[in-house]
Structure 1
């Protein structure tokens, strides 16, 4: 029996033949016997190498890391705790205990490994480092939580909390979406410092910084619609209003300085300004509705919690008979007996 039978190590893979054996062996040596590799249809020897290293291997039905994670947790994980990592040997199995401690101690239901706490030389290019910082800043601005490293692939979470998240991203946006959904569903999150290493020579990354970075920014903005509607509508409204004012200033300047009128531009300026103001007003109204909705949810959760805590004291009775299951189930029998006695 392993010390971590209640933990499943989840490794999404795609052409990781150079590193997957090292990663699987590392986690098994750390005491994790339940290692699940969900593969996106690798064209190299990733699947066979992972099996030889002792992992359980499943080929996902779709494509993309996000789809792999959702399918794995939904269909192939039975353990109550999931430790998710990349199979590129950039994360240390030695950090697994620290990642799981907040879950075991009840401090959190989702744990994010902070790669910036101990990032080794060469682990991340300057472009990727700048992009990560900008994305984390955008996340903190839009969703008003500082998780330090929302793009980290080293995660630990309870299976129950994962099932509460509404996840739709198929690619590398899954980490961003998980962070946003944790904020939206008020899932307790802990951030744990981890070591992040350079990819071993010979292994190639599946990440495309510009393309995937753009997808992540769009995911952040899209999720703001239900989590921070003031930013979602207000940002577009402010941009439209500013454009309208700039066009109006141009028309006014050309008319006063040269006597030239720009009727079409003037109409566009009025339309952009009106649209921008409407979006700003709508953003404020949506934010008020969102705040009221959050208050109602919090009030409902408190009521349910109070009812649950009061229920044992209401039902418990020291003189109650041990057989509590014979009440409602015996009612038809008692009625029949009473009818027979009446006859």
Structure 2
């Protein structure tokens, strides 16, 4: 349903790098599915005719010189104002005809709609088995840590509200940005909706830019970093307890020897054990302090989100007044 009986302003965001084989069809498909939307193609230093073909198909083409999908999305979120944002890829793997339903869900009040590939055709269409394994590994890791039930963590087909776009800090530079988005949403208890979509593999002549090993390492590094930042008490607390227990076990072994002989025969072991106990305690204390800081960050995020939501309402009121 339209927000406040007004048709929402929709922007379709297509980050692209060397997608001349598919970008024309993708732009035309989205213009058909969402005829009132603005379709933006951000060309990320393509060496082929991506920008030319996108322009001919009716897209608004801009250039982002900083290489990497995360950098492109950051520029898009900064530059473009809309009520609803649809983000997809320029490789023709996602169905444009699912976009109107995603727009309606954002208009109903969801912060992010996730185009769920894994519940439909992804594992049949995707011919890269390590990608399938990586998706399962990332999904189980994040859902376990955040007690969530998100099916497709790494999908590139999503819809966002104005408030989400203007309050989400894009830190990643590359393909790990989708994982970052999901963790950010779960950490801040945002309203998510998963919509199964029909995924299809790239057409012949179109080649993936993903590096299975390299990008997989980046994704896992992003998960590790964000768990450290968003879940500091479990992260540092468990590490501290493990270190402290090792130190305590070593201390007990030295103490048992002392009780039997009356002599401390392993001074280096005793000193090391005490240091481990101290380090363990410091890690636990650090986890407690950082956990308080993380909760304060979540409070600030809620305040910022409320501010942008109010700004959007005021903007709509001004538009109605002028109309």
Fold agreement, TM-score > 0.5? yes
Match of 2:225 in 1: 222
Alignment of 1:149-228 (within 5 A): 149-228=152-231
Task: Tell me how many residue pairs correspond in the alignment.
Answer: 297
**Structure 1 position 79 matched with structure 2 position 77:** no
Moved more, 4-13 or 36-45: 4-13
1:12-52 deviations in whole A, cap 9, x for unaligned?
00111111112112112223452100011101111111111
Q: Highest CA radius of gyration, 1 or 2?
A: 1
Q: Which runs of 5+ in 2 are unaligned?
A: 1-5, 311-323
Q: Measure the CA separation in 2 of the matches of 1:86 and 1:275.
A: 46
Secondary structure, aligned partner of 2:236: helix
Q: By how many angstroms is 1:277 displaced?
A: 3.8
**Structure 1 position 36 matched with structure 2 position 12:** no
Q: By how many angstroms is 1:231 displaced?
A: 2.4
Residues 114 and 157 of structure 2 are in contact (CA less than 8 Å); yes or no, is this contact kept in structure 1?
A: yes
C-alpha root-mean-square deviation of aligned residues, in Å? Answer: 3.5
Q: Measure the CA separation in 1 of the matches of 2:48 and 2:303.
A: 52
Match of 1:47 in 2: 51
Q: By how many angstroms is 1:59 displaced?
A: 0.6
**Residues 1:295 and 1:61: Cα distance change in structure 2 (over 3 Å):** closer
**Residues 1:126 and 1:251: Cα distance change in structure 2 (over 3 Å):** farther
Match of 2:113 in 1: 111
Q: Measure the CA separation in 2 of the matches of 1:127 and 1:10.
A: 28
**Residues 1:163 and 1:297: Cα distance change in structure 2 (over 3 Å):** closer
**Structure 1 position 136 matched with structure 2 position 119:** no
Secondary structure, aligned partner of 1:11: strand
Q: By how many angstroms is 1:296 displaced?
A: 6.9
Q: Measure the CA separation in 2 of the matches of 1:151 and 1:110.
A: 13
TM normalised by structure 1 equals 0.74
Report which structure shows greater RCO (CA 8 Å, sep ≥6).
Answer: 2
Match of 2:275 in 1: 271
Secondary structure, aligned partner of 2:217: helix
**Residues 1:71 and 1:297: Cα distance change in structure 2 (over 3 Å):** closer
**Residues 1:114 and 1:300: Cα distance change in structure 2 (over 3 Å):** closer
Residues 40 and 62 of structure 1 are in contact (CA less than 8 Å); yes or no, is this contact kept in structure 2?
A: yes
Q: Measure the CA separation in 1 of the matches of 2:302 and 2:31.
A: 45
Match of 1:24 in 2: 27
**Residues 1:200 and 1:282: Cα distance change in structure 2 (over 3 Å):** same
Match of 2:9 in 1: 6
